[in-house]
Structure 1
Amino acid sequence: MHRITLGNTYFEGENDAYLFTGAETTLVDTGIATADTREQLADGLADHGVAFADIDAIFLTHYHADHAGLAAEIQAESGATVYAHPEDAALIAGDDDAWDDLESRQRAAFEEWGMPEDDQEVLETYMQAGVDHHTAGADVETFADGDRFDLGETTLEVVHTPGHTAGLTSFAMPERNEVFTGDALLPVYTPNVGGADVRVDRPLERYLDTLGRIADAEFDRAWPGHRDPIDDPTARAEEIIHHHQERAYRVLRALDDLGPADAWTVSADLFGELDGIHILHGPGEASAHLDHLTRAGDIEKDDDGTYSLPADTRERLLQRDDEGWPL
C-alpha cells in the first residue's frame, strides 16, 4: 500500500489517496479535480509505475469533491469500477435530482439556522465552486456495511461511519488491523458535523456512534483522508468525543449568556466571524449540538426556532466544575 499526498488549497489540509498494486490496481479516494491535484496524483502514481489508465478499482470514502473529484475522469481513462456507499452514490454519479435535493435542504437549513442573506449568498457562491471541482459523474457501484473486497495483498472491509456525511465509509484491513477513515477520524482537526452534509439526521448522535465504533475496534493505525497516519486511533476517537463534550458545555454556556438564540447566534459565540466554507460549518456544528441537546432534554427549542436553557439545566450547569457535558 502506498500513500500519495495531494495538495488542497480549496478545503482544509492536504489530502491523501492510497494505492494498492498487485493483481488489481486500486485507489482509495482520488483528490479534488483541479489541475494541480490531477498532476500530483499522476506523478504519485507514476512513482509506482502506474497511470490513470491502469486503475482497476476506486473506493471512495464519501462524496465531497476533495475525496471523489477525480473519480469520473480516472474511470473514463481506465474503465475502473468506482465504489461508494448508497447514501453518497448519486451525488458522486452527478445525479441532478440528488444535487438539487441537497441544495434545497441546504437553503432550508440556512433559514432554520438564522443565517443572514448576505452570508447565504457568499456561501452559495463558494459551494458552487466546490461542485465544479467534481469531474463529470462516474458510474458507481454500491456496497454495504460489512462487505469485503479482496485486493490480493489485503482485504478491504466496509465500515459505514456516518456523521460527516450520510454515506461516509471507512475501510478496515483485517490482516493489518488498520483502517482507512476518510474524514471520520482526522489527526489534527475534528470533522465537521451538521454542516458538511445537511442530509444527515441526528448528525452528532450518529458521529458519536461512529467514534465509539472506531474506538471499540482498537485498530493499530488509521490512515485518514487528510494529513498523517494516526498511530493510536482509539485514543484519537476518544479525544474527539471529549472535544464534543467540551463543545456541548460551551453551547450551554452560550445559551446561558445569550438567552434564547438560534444556531447562527450560538455559532458566532463559539467561533466568531466566519468566512469561506466555515460559514457553513460553524452554524452547522452549532445546530448539530443544539439538536442533540434538545433530544436529550437538556435544552428546549421554541416555536420561533430559537433554543433556550431550562431552569433545571442552568442549575446543573452551575454545579459542574469541569468543561464537559455528558453526551
Structure 2
Amino acid sequence: MSARAAWTEPTAEPVAEGVFRIPLPLPNDALRAVNVYLIRTPAALVCIDGGWALEESRSAFDAALRSLGHEVGDVTRFLVTHAHRDHYTQAVTVRQEFGARVTLGIGDRDAIEYFGAGRSVVESQYRRLVQAGARDLAEAWRTESAGHSVDPKLWQEPDDWLEGDVEISLGARTLAALATPGHTRGHYVFADVASGVLFAGDHVLPTITPSIGFEPVPSPLPLSDFLASLAKVRALPDMMLLPAHGQVTTSVHQRVDELLAHHEERLHRCEELVAGGCRTAADVATEIPWTRRGLALADLDPFNAMLAVLETDAHLRLLVAQRRLNQGADAGAHCYQLPQWTHDDPEAR
C-alpha cells in the first residue's frame, strides 16, 4: 500500500489528547475510508461523524472501540459534519440500537427529508446534468445507478439541529460548531481552539478538492458559499487539520490557501473557455483536466464525471453572479457567454 493510502488502514490512532482517529471502510467508494474521530472525556464518548451504515464499517468501528476498552454502546453522541451517507447513516443505526444522540446542521434538513422519503439523488443530479448540457452523461449516470435504493430508516431526522455558530461543551473541552456551507448546505466544522485541532469534515481535505453541491437540494450558489466558508475558517487561529478523508496534517491555513488559489484559477479558466467559444458546463468541463493526474472528462467514470460537470456548473454560476458572464438557455441547457461590455470598458459595467 502506498504512503498516500496508508491512512485507510484499520486503527484507533491518537491524534490529540483524548482524541482518536478511526478510519472506517468505504468499499464502494474511491475515497476508500472515512475518518471518524472519537473524543474521550471522563463523562462520555463523543464521535465526530459516524461512518456509512455497512457491515464492514460497523465491524471496523466495533474493533477500534474495543482496542480502546470501549463498546459501541458507550458512545453517547454523534456530531455529524454533514448529511452524506458515509458520515450520517451509521450514526442513525447506532442511535437505533443504543440511544446515542445525533446532531446535524439545519441546512441539511431538506436533504434529510428528501432521502427520508426514499428518494434517490440520481434523479435530481440527472436533471442538473441535462441543464448543464450533459444529456449523454446524465443517461450514463442513471444507467450506472439503476437499482440503487434509499432506505428511509437510515435518514431519520437527528435529535438536535445546529443553527448558526454555537459552542458545545464536552466536559472540560469546548468545541466551536461553525456553519461552513458549500460541500453541503448544512456542513459544520468543529474547532477545539484550546487544543489546536479542527475537525474539518469534508470542508477542508488534505489532498483532494471537496466536491461542491453534491446533494439533492443544492444552494443556488454553492461555490460562493464554500469560498466564504473557507475564508471563515482561515480567519481562525491555525490548527491541526483533522479531515474526514486523508491523513491528519499540521496546518489548516496552508490547505485553505491552496483551495482558495485552486478555485480562483479555475474561475479564470472557465471564463477564458467561455470567451473561447464553450457554451455549457459540459463544454467547459471537457476542456479542463481533472484529478491530480490531469485526466480528461471522458476518462472519468460516470459518477466522477457527474461531479466534474456539476462543479464546473457551480463555477459558471458564480461567474454570472459576479457579472463576469451572462447566462441564457438553449434546448433546456444553460448556456453562458461573455457580457456585451468588454473588459476594456469599465464604465459599461
Q: Could you state the TM-score of these two structures normalised by the residue count of structure 1?
A: 0.86
Runs ≥4 residues deviating over 6 A: none
Partner of 1:319: none
Letter of the structure 1 residue corresponding to residue 102 of structure 2:
V
Equivalent residue for 1:24, pick from 15, 31, 44: 44
CA contact (8 A) 1:28 1:61 kept: yes
Partner of 1:291: 317
Equivalent residue for 2:335, pick from 301, 306, 325: 306
Q: Could you say what secondary structure the match of 1:77 adopts? A: helix
Equivalent residue for 2:235, pick from 208, 211, 216: 216
Correspondences of 1:39-78 after superposition (within 5 Å): 39-78=59-98
Correspondences of 1:248-287 after superposition (within 5 Å): 248-257=267-276, 259-270=277-288, 271=290, 272-273=297-298, 274-287=300-313
2:266 maps to 1:240: no
1:240, 1:127 → 2: CA distance?
A: 34
Equivalent residue for 1:120, pick from 139, 142, 145: 139
RMSD: 2.7
2:301, 2:134 → 1: CA distance?
A: 13
CA contact (8 A) 1:83 1:142 kept: yes
Q: Could you say what secondary structure the match of 1:135 adopts? A: helix
State which drifts further: 245-254 or 160-169.
Answer: 245-254
2:342, 2:151 → 1: CA distance?
A: 45
1:120, 1:61 → 2: CA distance?
A: 31
CA contact (8 A) 1:150 1:156 kept: yes
CA contact (8 A) 1:57 1:82 kept: yes
CA contact (8 A) 1:33 1:133 kept: no
Partner of 1:177: 196
- Which structure shows the bigger proportion of residues in strand conformation? 2
CA contact (8 A) 1:25 1:57 kept: yes
State which drifts further: 78-87 or 33-42.
Answer: 33-42
- CA shift, 1:116, in A, is 1.6
Letter of the structure 1 residue corresponding to residue 198 of structure 2:
V
Partner of 2:181: 162
Pair 245,222 (structure 1): closer, same or farther in 2 beyond 3 Å: same
- CA shift, 1:146, in A, is 2.2
Instruction: Report Cα offsets for 1:169-189 as digits up to 9, x if no partner.
Output: 001113213211100000000
1:244, 1:133 → 2: CA distance?
A: 35
Pair 26,206 (structure 1): closer, same or farther in 2 beyond 3 Å: same
Pair 172,163 (structure 1): closer, same or farther in 2 beyond 3 Å: same
- CA shift, 1:21, in A, is 2.1
Letter of the structure 1 residue corresponding to residue 319 of structure 2:
L
Partner of 1:82: 102
